[in-house]
Amino acid sequence: MPVSRTCRALLISGILLPGVVATAVLQTKVKQPTLPYIDQGACPGEYCVYGSSWMARKSAPVYDTWQSQRRRIGQIAAGERVTAPTGLVITTKPGTIRMDRDLPEQGLKRGDIILTYTYRGEGFSAVWFGGTFYPDFDISFSKWPDGSGCGGTQCAATYTNLGDKVWWAQVQLRSGATGWINMTGADFDMGKN
């Protein structure tokens, strides 16, 4: 049964007992997530931290909402700092990973398809396969379409499609106003104070 990054860290640190791990990682069968899948609070990437000061490396438009009926309310200039209290990732089409060989320790067989939703960082992603949703699943065994990702014998699967996902970050401007930035194409130093 797959073990999440959190449970693995707790087990290694000795905080969880073996019997508790089985309960902690127990997943339930669920229908495939409904699209669009909105992952509130998601901060995709290794260095993404909400609640801290972000500095824009280049100018970015600010909108009143992340929803489709939005209007532009401002612009962040290159070099400007903002606070980013939260964000979300919207998946309109999940990515697909095809298993190239069996991975029994994960309960996966050659030919299985994993649907990916939000990338979490460090090789982890929210995924759905075999009737189960895993909010934090290690997919580091997958080769990306551009050939990056895993290497050598660690590779057991190939991304066949990255899907369609959009990351929006809420920002608080120096004026005190809040707005939303489409992070596709935006460029910020995150977590810098």
Pair (134, 155) in one structural domain: yes
Long-range pairs, 107-116, Cβ under 8 A, ≥24: 107/1, 107/2, 108/156, 108/157, 114/139, 114/142, 114/157, 115/32, 116/159, 116/162, 116/163
Pair (20, 47) in one structural domain: no
- Residue 7's SS3 state is helix
pLDDT for 28 equals 56
Pair (106, 139) in one structural domain: yes
Pair (157, 105) in one structural domain: yes
pLDDT for 116 equals 98
Pair (53, 102) in one structural domain: no
Tell me the per-residue pLDDT of 38-93, one tens digit each, with 9 for 90 and over: 999 999 988 889 988 899 999 999 999 999 999 999 999 999 999 999 999 999 99
Tell me the per-residue pLDDT of 146-157, one tens digit each, with 9 for 90 and over: 888 898 888 999
pLDDT-derived band at 167 (thresholds 50, 70, 90) equals very high
